[in-house]
Structure 1
Amino acid sequence: MGLVGSLGFLEIIYGVLFDPVKTFRRLAEDPPFLLVLVIVTLVNAAGTLMSMLTVNTIAPAELGAEFDRLIAGVAPFLVLAGFFLWYAKWLGYGAVLHLVAQLLGGRNGPKATLTVYGLAGLPAVFMLPVQGFVVVAGLAETPASAILGLIGLGVFVWSLALLIIGLREVHQLSTGGAAIVVFAPVAAVAALFLLLLIVLVVGFAPVVPSPSGFPLGL
């Protein structure tokens, strides 16, 4: 097993999942970006293949054979598109994370930020056996969606915690500062969306008829 710095392929995976503080601290010295690219590609590919099988398995049969055929035809393309869009999200959101981290005094380079962001998604591997169980058991849509949703929520929270821990360690930030790095871009987008919604409502209110037949602005 080749080494990157003092950590190898399996050591990185195990360390991020079960000893993230120490692992991210060691990775900060020499972020293994290329090795992380290989790791996330393997995880992404496995998740994509399993998602294809899962979507075809839990398609809602009560909507009829035609809908089933439509789902079976479209789902692979949507899942495959998700495979490539993940890399766009990794680079795009990773760049935003790095910018915010630098504004808050982050002390590492973009490779460290992308490394942390990529490795923070490792808990997704635990979705694979769950999806495999759903496929093998042939569960109906409702119980399958409930199981996948519950486990998926746990995986999301775990990944979020790893992202905060990783950014904290590689950029030498406080836990609160790392949390701000993660949530600030999301809050900014939400605030912008809310502002646009308010502008649209205020702009159209004078010309939208009220229940009494008069414009709402009157």
Structure 2
Amino acid sequence: MSIPIIDTIRGMIVAPVQTMHQQEESTVQDTLIYYLEIILAFALLSTIVTALLQSAGFATTVDLLAPASLLIYLVGLIVGMIIALVIMVLIFHLCARVVGGDGEWTDTLRAVVFSSTPIAVIGWIPIVGSLIADLWSLVLMVVGIREYHHLSTGRAAIAVLLPVIVLIILAALAVSYLTISSATFTTVPT
């Protein structure tokens, strides 16, 4: 059973819960193929838009005027998104379990993959597209964790926001430690 890309993209926009339920029986292989399709689309469109912006004189974070740079950027996006998938599945699965979710890791994989759909659809559009895609993906992640792990919406939201909260706390602790350390080491005895 392969996942029809156009129908799934449309479904994730207009009827995400039903679309996620339709994909409950999809294999890991089919889910990963869908993910590769959408990240390839995102990577190609993002590379083209970034190169066009740079050739029009806009400052970009990478130099894409050389053909080799284009290929490296494209491959880097794809590899980065595959690594991000693995990390996100591990983190969100653990968080879903912490708040009482009963889904398998394959359910978390589906939630992460299908919630990535808006990024492929509009995430490559500078500024506004990526902002809307990130917000919609966050909502879809909550829905996916809720549906696949059989949680309430509140618990699913906690599972999705828990990594963000932990990162904020760790960052605050790191800043506090560095501030205290620098104040301690810069004090010169008189």
Where do 1:115-134 residues align within 5 Å?
115-127=110-122
SS at match of 2:103: coil
Partners in 2 of 1:153 and 1:127 — Cα distance?
Answer: 9
Q: % of aligned pairs identical?
A: 22
Q: Partner residue of 1:84?
A: 79
User: 2: distance between equivalents of 1:119 and 1:171?
Assistant: 15
What corresponds to 1:164 in structure 2?
Answer: 142
Unaligned residue ranges in structure 2 (runs of 5+): none
1:1-218 paired onto structure 2 within 5 Å: 3=1, 10-28=6-24, 30-59=25-54, 61=57, 70-73=63-66, 74=69, 76-127=71-122, 148-208=126-186, 215=187
The 1:9–1:32 alpha-carbon spacing in structure 2 relative to 1, beyond 3 Å, is farther
Query: What's the RMSD between the two structures over aligned residues?
Result: 2.8
Distance of 1:121 and 1:107 partners within structure 2: 22
* TM-score using structure 1 length: 0.74
Compare CA radii of gyration and give the structure with the larger one.
1
Q: How far did residue 72 of structure 1 move?
A: 2.1
1:44–1:177 Cα change, 3 Å: same
The answer (yes or no) to whether the contact 2:47–2:73 under 8 Å persists in 1 is no
Question: How far did residue 82 of structure 1 move?
Answer: 1.9
Q: For the Cα contact (< 8 Å) 1:205–1:217, is it kept in 2?
A: no
The higher-RCO structure (CA 8 Å, 6+ apart) is 1
Residue 104 of structure 2 aligns to which amino acid in structure 1? G
The alignment of Structure 1 onto Structure 2 pairs a total of residues equal to 186
| Contact 1:97 1:113 survives alignment (8 Å) | yes
Runs of 4+ that moved beyond 6 A? none
With structure 2 as the length reference, what TM-score do the two structures score? 0.84
Q: Could you report, residue by residue, the CA deviation over 1:133-155 in whole angstroms, capped at 9, with x for unpaired residues?
A: xxxxxxxxxxxxxxx20122111
* Structure 1 alignment gaps of length 5 or more: 132-147, 209-214
